[in-house]
Amino acid sequence: MAHLIILGATGSLGRHVLRQALAAGHVVTVSVRTPSRLPPDLREQVSVDSRDLSFGVPLELFRGQDTLINCAGHVAEGEPFVGLIDRLVTSVESLAITERPVCWFLAGAALLDIDPSGRRGVDLDSVKATYWPHQVNFERLRRSRLDWRLLCPGPMVEDPPIGIDRLRISLDTLPVEMVASVRDLPDSQLVPLFASVVPEIIVPYADAAAVMLANLDRGNAMAQHRVGLA
């Protein structure tokens, strides 16, 4: 049993994280702007914090928590999304090292390495135009000394779970096999190649939630890594 705080618990992914966390017996606090959006059957089982985090994140929000799981924000928001992640990281950094929770954040598959040179989807101009906040957030995490993990799934869907034992899970690289010649391809040819593997990396929200909740141990193999799913 762990003490968890979930941000964005009423969103598409957050709802699955919340329900699974409670089913596993964790003690859960949620930070949501609109508590009425919480499922009625779960509302009485959680502690609710409804403060607006747009301008600052109070330290006491994270004190006593073993894990922070952030499902709040969206890459399409651009600068506000970047600002949110920076405020969260800064707040946790301000705690004493022994008080800092393990932190799960969310990005996307475009942040994973495509080939051994380290090229990523987000490095490609047509992809960067939308997904650049993931790169900025990643760099912010890398500058920190937090025990962070960055989930980088492809598109997520409301399908029945596959089960994490059947998922392909990777660290820092795309979880699909790429053609051997990928390192020699110019960026212009990487775009259609990256697009061609997207169907392989579609995962149910329930499985993405399960991966995070199965990896709450401090300093485990996923610590300070990007995590891919397929």
- Tens of pLDDT, residue by residue over 74-123, are 999 999 999 999 999 999 999 999 999 999 999 999 999 987 778 898 98
Q: Classify burial at 188, counting beta carbons within 10 Å of its beta carbon; exposed 0-12, middle 13-18, buried 19 or more.
A: exposed
**Which helix (H) or strand (E) covers residue 212, if one does?**
helix 205-213
Max Cα distance, the chain (Å): 56
Tell me which residue of 106, 86, 101, 71 sits closest to 2, measured CA to CA.
Answer: 101
Range in 31-35, 109-113, 133-137, 162-166 the model is least confident about: 31-35
pLDDT of residue 13: 97
Higher pLDDT among residues 17 and 53, named by residue: 17
pTM over 0.75: yes
pLDDT score of 154 more than 90: yes
pLDDT of residue 179: 66
- Tens of pLDDT, residue by residue over 44-65, are 899 988 888 887 888 889 999 9
Q: Classify burial at 212, counting beta carbons within 10 Å of its beta carbon; exposed 0-12, middle 13-18, buried 19 or more.
A: buried
Q: What is the mean pLDDT of the chain?
A: 92
